[in-house]
Structure 1
């Protein structure tokens, strides 16, 4: 079996290696934003281009490259594609059962103003789903819900992506922070607390930002009380939860507090003028019927059930019922586990062979949790097996191309990690001296763009961030936190997230339009996080938590 020794600087020049490593990303951006290729075509060409660079520039044997691509694609389909599929399936079940009209009615009862609806769905409810599930589910569900209540498809996808950016660091019961702690060797509670002293600054402005995207200052000034309540309540709860209640529950607590605060406000205050997108129908007009509290509760039951099931799935006591098998042992019955032939032990890092083992705990997977919730929801909604399976089949068909895109993008992410391309780019950014504190979030930003996952970027770069921070004499806690915070800003432009948004809004093939919608907001956010990090490193050092 051929082997290859890991080398993140094959050119012997850090900057040249970084530039070559970045070529697939540059190509992908041009393919989507300039050439306006369909997402799945751009994804296929990107992984082919990256594979050629891996073979001819990094000198990796072709068999290792192909095996790595396959491993990444499989990972893209499960667990990530699995979660996306189940998230959209949940929404489709709700529509099939005729309950989405009632959900739209219930939202319009809070307000039939689409500015308020965007705050409730794209910002707060999406953040709750991020904390409970993550991995694409919040964008898929929020974007689909916005479509259902009358938002134009591009705005439904774009607003869901922009509004869901900041909660990403604490997503999936805090998995990104946990991963950062494991990889860097820094206590995860410190990292979570530090992230909770960075992101609330941006959280304060996200509601205002979302409404400004919708209709500019004219739209925003009419709902300033709602923007203030939504942003302040979320930011305050985000800080308190991450610093004093355990980072794992941050998104759940902050989002619920924000929803309750906004609903209470709407009991005593309403916008003077109702606002909606030109040419759309406000959700209040979707039905002349009046629904009882019980009917509304039943309509929301799929999402209530999903939240409860996912919370159970995220608990340690549940996960401990199905523990992971040891590294070199066969998988348990609840695991799909195999060593990827061709790449397993074929890449040597400092002379040590690197394992390439695929493991999926299908019982504790988030996708399984949502599927269980779908089954329970179908029972509550009195949906028979035939209709249930029919909706599942249509969902598969609906998501075929987005799932292909996700598989290709994860293949590229896996290749980037194992080939050293990701390290080439990260190492170049790390060589910026006193400016490193500003650029640290950009390293996490690149990682999330590559992988679509804040967890993955922390796995890739947390150790690098901690090491480099010590070299330039700033806090390693701050640098690792900045990696996760910066990654949040890239979530809205990562190809996987865009593919999810496109799939949920029936915009497959229009991924380039979504990218153009979100790109400038993403760059502004990561720049602001860079400024915040630099100020915390050299001016407001008291904001950094210590053990």
Structure 2
């Protein structure tokens, strides 16, 4: 048995936190500064975290290795299980040619890449986040953008930056439900508080996407469309989470914002001083607005029948239908009977107070996981598109081949996360930050950001730091609801720099080994948005904006 120790270095939380931060800092340095391939950087950081757990924290070798294996297993199920099946659905649409139809349909709304980035990366990505989460929107929207003519790197960056404001309410508010469980605070109250934080991010994210696509010129010419999208999304997310339903917040916001953009484009198209229309060939690839055009035929004269357009949208309609049905309480309870929960074999760990560690329990939610539901949607898609079983199996094989390095990276990253969590390294970092007193209101989102950067999941970050946030709030005389909500809201901004999501984005657009370059392109956006949220959290804890706390 291993009992967590939070201050192994000279009984000092501060010095222990310095050592505990080494694996995470090393990971980001290897990715960002040394441009190392993600799986290699993750493997090195995992080795360092194991050494610290064993040598510094005194964790038995066997227990440290078992924690790593549990993390790797969690990385595959449920996280990779969701992504693999989501990409499989996409591969089947490519196999049948219906993805080209979908691309032309989106292009018919607007051939302006700046508008396409808003509709697909932000609004459609938010819908995918609402239904599935766990990397699915990044995987799906990045390939859709690339098919519309975006360069692979730009498509990956846009998908990652867009996957922010919707994350806290993703997978039918799974992160918030988890936060409620670990903090024993009402889910509706937490959802309402988060719905008074993340909508502020939603105001700026579409503007950021336009800036990424076309710089200052894009902002000058497309700011109105981007701002309307952000305002409608923010208003819908706030209203739904506070007055209707927390799980449905992203669904309503995504659909409302998409409708607003379509309406805006039809009423008033953004002006252009240069070409921001990609020439898209039958292969589904082309150059973005800041690159020179290639000499390839386009499909501007292709007219798709209504039946083909319906089939092209069918997979996504099927996904929505399957996920909505599975969220019905009666159906959800029935599916939950297939959930198996057990202690990870051989792993015997208690926390610093001697209580059993919840991380040692592993849940196989075989039917309630979005991954299995995505698999069911994939089978139905195969039928709807009249794809033979051999071709569908071939598409699944192509998916596994495409994601092979992402699979390895995600499993290594989650192994790293579990070693840091189970040994006590992550809790040491959190406890050190929680000692900041009333200043903790400013630091609270950073803790959530850190948790998601390590685990790639807002759900995991809430599970890891939710209770700690409440404890710190009580010690500092701050609002429990505000600090817990700030953990989740801050966490959404760590999503774009998480090695897990970087690997998924790189694999989706065919840039395996370029995760470090993607990281450098998104890290400043992550930190910039984080500063805004830290300031908001501090103001909400002060008399200035305390009226916003329910």
- Find out whether 1:13 has 2:26 as its counterpart: no
What's the secondary structure of 1:358's corresponding residue? strand
Q: Deviations over 1:422-480 (max 9, x none)?
A: 11111111122232111000000110011101111111111111111121112111111
Say if 1:101 and 1:287, in contact at 8 Å, map to a contact too: no
Deviates more, 1:23-32 or 1:312-321: 312-321
In structure 2, the partner of 1:67 is 66
Match of 1:279 among 282, 292, 307: 292
Aligned partner of residue 7 in structure 1, secondary structure: coil
**1:480 equivalenced with 2:484 (yes/no):** yes
Instruction: Specify the alignment match of 1:432 in structure 2.
Output: 436
- Aligned twin of 2:547: 543
Greater shift, 468-477 or 350-359, is seen at: 350-359
* Alignment partners' CA distance in 1, 2:389 and 2:79: 26
- Aligned partner of 1:354 in structure 2 is 357
Q: Is the 8 A contact 1:73 1:408 kept in 2?
A: yes
1:159-178 correspondence runs (5 A): 159-178=158-177
Tell me the residue number matched to 1:380: 384
What residue in structure 2 maps to residue 257 of structure 1?
Answer: 256
Alignment correspondent of 1:303: 316
CA 1:508–1:360: 2 relative to 1, 3 Å? same
Kept in 2, the 8 Å contact 1:152–1:280? The answer is no
Q: Which residue of 2 aligns with 1:316?
A: 329
Q: For 1:247-278, what per-residue CA distance to the aligned partner results, in whole angstroms no more than 9, with x for missing partners?
A: 11111000000111111222222123251422
Contact 1:125 1:255 (8 Å CA) reproduced:
yes
When normalised by structure 1's length, the TM-score is: 0.95
**Which whole-Å CA distance do the structure 1 matches of 2:385 and 2:480 have between them?**
51
**Greater shift after overlay, 407-416 or 383-392?**
407-416
CA deviations on 1:66-114 (whole Å, 9 max, x unpaired) are 1111111011011101111111111111111101111111111110000
> Residue 173 and residue 457 in structure 1: after superposition, are their counterparts in 2 closer, same or farther (change >3 A)?
same
Contact 2:540 2:549 in 1 (8 A): no
Q: Give the 3 Å change call, closer, same or farther, for CA 284–387 of structure 1 in structure 2.
A: same
Residues 85 and 374 of structure 2 are in contact (CA less than 8 Å); yes or no, is this contact kept in structure 1? Answer: yes
1:281, distance to aligned residue in structure 2 (A): 7.4
Deviation at 1:279, TM superposition (A): 2.9
* Matched position secondary structure for 2:336: coil
* Higher alpha-carbon deviation: 309-318 or 258-267: 309-318
1:253 and 1:465 mapped to 2: Cα distance? 29
C-alpha contact (below 8 Å) 2:448/2:489 kept by paired residues: yes
The match for 1:448 among 425, 438, 452 is: 452
Structure 1 window deviating more from structure 2 (148-157 vs 313-322): it is 313-322
Counterpart position of 1:329: none
Distance 1:183 1:541 in 2: 26
The alpha-carbon deviation at position 322 of structure 1 amounts to 2.8
Q: Any unmatched runs of 5+ in structure 2?
A: 278-288
Secondary structure of residue in 2 paired with 1:506 = coil
Whether 1:290 aligns to 2:303 is yes
Determine the structure 1 residue equivalent to 2:500: 496
Mapped partners of 1:319, 1:542: distance in 2: 37
Q: Is residue 4–residue 349 contact of structure 2 (8 Å, CA) maintained in 1?
A: no
Change (3 A) 1:301 1:214: same
Q: Give the conservation status (yes or no) of the 8 Å contact 1:33–1:515.
A: yes
Choose 378-387 or 345-354, whichever is displaced more. Answer: 345-354
Aligned to 2:411: 407
Q: Distance in 2 between matches of 1:282 and 1:303?
A: 33
What corresponds to 2:227 in structure 1? 228
Moved more, 440-449 or 259-268: 259-268
- Relative to the length of structure 2, the TM-score reads 0.94
Q: Is the 8 A contact 2:92 2:382 kept in 1?
A: yes
State the distance in 2 between where 1:96 and 1:120 align.
Answer: 24
Mapped to 1, the partners of 2:461 and 2:423 lie a distance apart of 15
- 2: CA distance, partners of 1:395 / 1:283: 27
- Tell me how far apart the structure 1 counterparts of residues 15 and 511 of structure 2 sit (CA, whole Å): 37
Q: Does 1:397 align with 2:396?
A: no
Pairs within 5 Å for 1:452-467: 452-467=456-471
The one-character-per-residue Cα deviations of 1:163-209 (angstroms, maximum 9, x if unpaired) are 11111010000011111111111111111111111111121111111
Q: Deviation digits for residues 326-379 of structure 1, max 9, x if unmatched?
A: xxxxxxxx3455432221x34354233436232212122211111111111111
Moved more, 470-479 or 398-407: 470-479
512 and 475 in structure 1: CA distance in 2 versus 1, 3 angstrom threshold: same
CA–CA distance in structure 2, aligned partners of residues 284 and 236 of structure 1: 42
Residues 91-170 of structure 1: matches in 2 within 5 Å?
A: 91-170=90-169
Instruction: State the secondary structure of the residue aligned to 2:7.
Output: coil
Contact 2:438 2:478 in 1 (8 A): no
How has the CA–CA distance of structure 1 residues 353 and 236 changed in structure 2, closer, same or farther, with 3 Å as cutoff? closer
Q: Distance in 2 between matches of 1:405 and 1:124?
A: 28
Q: Distance in 2 between matches of 1:348 and 1:130?
A: 33
User: Which string of whole-angstrom CA distances, capped at 9 and with x for unpartnered residues, describes residues 281-311 of structure 1?
Assistant: 7999434211233321211111111111122
CA contact (8 A) 2:93 2:99 kept: yes
Q: Which moved more, 1:459-468 or 1:427-436?
A: 427-436
Which is worse superposed, 258-267 or 485-494? 258-267
Q: Quick one: distance in 1 between partners of 2:299 and 2:523?
A: 33
Question: Alignment partner of 2:364: what SS?
Answer: strand
1:542: how far off? 4.1
Does residue 519 in structure 1 map to residue 516 in structure 2? no
> SS where residue 491 of structure 1 aligns?
helix
The number of equivalent residue pairs is: 534
